[in-house]
Copies of this chain bind each other. A is one copy, B any other.
Amino acid sequence: MTKERIWTAALIIIGDEILSGRTQDKNISQIAVWLNIQGIRLKEVRVVADVESAIVEAVNSLRVKHDYLFTTGGIGPTHDDITVDAIAAALGVAVVVHPDAEKILHDYYETRGGLTEARLRMARVPQGAELIENKVSGAPGIRAGNIFIMAGVPGITAMMLDGLNGKLEGGMPLLSDTLGCWVAESEVADLLAKTERTHEGCQIGSYPFFREGRVGANFVIRSTDHDRLNKCMLHLADGLTALGYPSEFGGISPISG
């Protein structure tokens, strides 16, 4: 097996509402799952405030470290939507009205009260950027080089991701399988470490939980190679059984809390 190139991405969540705890983020997990299907690994996430300097710093730190950089939030029509300006500042380019975005918004708002100055803000892009289709609410996402500027509302982000399906180059998706087991992870720590060590190309994560008064753990095995993953999982399952802990393929769902 030749060593395949791993494509990576970072994500910047822009929003005071996440940092205040008011809003429970849903974009990290949906973008992570979508990226993996494209063969791209999400390697780092930052949540930053609606403050231009904070956005600029994060953008310039992450856009050079990864193949792709996604942002969510701050692309609406109101005064607190400063993502486009901040990314343009980070890239050192002007903010311009994209003619196609203006046309999309003009058509969308034709029967919705007209294209006001505030709404026209949503046609502004960093110079040289392309649009990402938004079937839900008119205002498009934006691609500026390797930066993908997405909505903050998870349902709109989902539709924008849908529009990007298959358009980004990636590598092998990371496959994963889970073994669930009613065992304290500390009972089987040696087995986990040894199994990972003897199965090249596989990583094992251990995720303990408490449920109905019992401790348990889900062991997630990750690999880009299907056969290696299977071998590692069977080895771990046998090892758990030998220690007196039968496991369940597919994992045990902890109650959410």
> How many copies of the polypeptide does the oligomer hold?
2
**Interface members, chain A 166-212 (any B CB < 8 Å):** 174, 176, 184-187, 189-190, 192-193, 196, 203-210
Q: A44-B46, A46-B44, A184-B112 are in contact. Are A24 and B29 (CB under 8 A)?
A: yes
* Chain B residues with CB under 8 A of A190: 117-118
Instruction: Tell yes or no: A225 within 8 A of B by CB.
Output: no
Among A16, A154, A186, chain B packs the most CB atoms within 10 A around the CB of A186
Instruction: Tell yes or no: A77 within 8 A of B by CB.
Output: yes
Encode contact with B along A1-26: 1 for CB under 8 Å, 0 otherwise. 00000000000010011111111111
- The complex places the Cα of A205 from the Cα of B31 at a distance, in Å, of 24
Instruction: Tell yes or no: A104 within 8 A of B by CB.
Output: no
Instruction: Tell yes or no: A119 within 8 A of B by CB.
Output: yes
Number of A interface residues at 8 Å Cβ cutoff, please give it. Answer: 72
* Chain B residues with CB under 8 A of A241: none
A45→B47 contact, CB < 8 A: yes
* Chain B residues with CB under 8 A of A226: none
- The complex places the Cα of A205 from the Cα of B23 at a distance, in Å, of 12
Instruction: Tell yes or no: A60 within 8 A of B by CB.
Output: no
- The complex places the Cα of A176 from the Cα of B19 at a distance, in Å, of 13
Instruction: Tell yes or no: A146 within 8 A of B by CB.
Output: no
Q: A45-B47, A203-B16 are in contact. Are A193 and B54 (CB under 8 A)?
A: no
Nearest CB of B to A122, in Å: 8
